[in-house]
């Protein structure tokens, strides 16, 4: 083995270990992939929002879903996000849109937050997190709550409506 092979091995193994760590985090916690605004508007239209609805966005990223829902429909919205940077960004956007009395952004783990007052729950998570979320939704949500999952579905729940919007499949369920 020459010096270049040894050098290459010393570079490749740490890089592979680093990539493994990143992939592990992504699979366990998910990552921020923003939905396009037009896609969000179509999702909100699909839900048939009423004035007294309360929308929860689990893993709300930069807050675009709760902000648009409150801005367009005047409803109360709550975003729950684990990333401090995305919380900061969301709160700036809420303030910029003057929606402080309509949109609440919560820093925390979606599995630790109370979502009992939701009439609409929206999320765009990995399949693993979507599956893990199912018992929480069954336990905490009242009958009639609309649940919207983007891209991943619950295999044993009856889909009320599904639609392909842009590059995304959207699934609407009722508890």
User: Do 4 and 65 belong to one domain?
Assistant: no
pLDDT for 118: 97
List strand residue ranges (DSSP E) for 42-150, in order. Answer: 54-58, 76-81, 103-107, 120-123, 146-150
Interval 21-54: pLDDT, tens: 555 544 445 556 788 899 999 999 999 999 999 9
How many domains would you assign to the chain? 2
CA-CA-CA-CA torsion for 154, 158, 161, 162, nearest 10 degrees?
A: 30
pLDDT at 127 over 70: yes
Residue 5 to residues 74, 148, 169, Cα–Cα distance (Å): 63, 51, 46
Locate 31 and state its tokens.
């990552």
What pLDDT band is residue 143 in, cutting at 50, 70 and 90? very high
User: Do 78 and 133 belong to one domain?
Assistant: yes
**Which CATH number belongs to the domain containing residue 169 in this structure?**
3.40.50.150
pLDDT at 76 over 70: yes
Range of the domain at 62: 37-174
User: Do 24 and 45 belong to one domain?
Assistant: no
CA distance 24 to 6: 27
Distance of CA 162 to the CA centre of its chain: 18
CB 79 within 8 A of CB 102: no
- Tell me the percentage of the chain whose pLDDT exceeds 90: 72
pLDDT, averaged across the chain: 88
pLDDT at 86 over 70: yes
User: Do 52 and 134 belong to one domain?
Assistant: yes
User: Do 41 and 104 belong to one domain?
Assistant: yes
User: Do 88 and 26 belong to one domain?
Assistant: no
CA distance 91 to 105: 7
User: Do 45 and 122 belong to one domain?
Assistant: yes
User: Do 48 and 24 belong to one domain?
Assistant: no
Pick the closest to residue 157 from 169, 146, 142 (CA basis).
146
CB 79 within 8 A of CB 105: yes
pLDDT for 20: 53
Bridge partner residues of 105 (DSSP): 79
User: Do 127 and 77 belong to one domain?
Assistant: yes
Residues 6+ apart with CB under 8 A from 99: 67, 70, 71
What pLDDT band is residue 65 in, cutting at 50, 70 and 90? very high
pLDDT at 109 over 80: yes
User: Do 137 and 71 belong to one domain?
Assistant: yes
CB 83 within 8 A of CB 32: yes
């Amino acid at each position: 083995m020459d010096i270049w092979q040894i050098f290459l091995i010393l570079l490749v193994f740490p890089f592979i270990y680093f990539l493994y760590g990143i992939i592990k985090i992504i699979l366990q916690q998910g990552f921020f992939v923003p939905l396009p605004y037009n896609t969000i508007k179509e999702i909100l239209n699909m839900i048939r929002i009423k004035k007294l609805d309360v929308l929860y966005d689990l893993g709300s990223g930069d807050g675009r879903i709760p902000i648009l829902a409150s801005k367009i429909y005047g409803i109360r919205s709550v975003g729950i996000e684990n990333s401090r940077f995305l919380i900061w960004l969301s709160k700036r956007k809420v303030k910029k849109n003057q929606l402080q009395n309509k949109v609440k952004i919560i820093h925390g783990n979606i599995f630790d937050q109370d979502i009992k007052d939701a009439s609409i729950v929206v999320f765009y998570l990995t399949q693993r997190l979507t599956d893990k979320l199912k018992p929480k939704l069954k336990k905490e949500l009242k009958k009639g709550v609309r649940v919207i999952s983007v891209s991943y579905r619950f295999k044993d729940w009856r889909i009320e409506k599904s639609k392909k919007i842009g590059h995304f499949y959207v699934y609407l369920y009722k508890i």
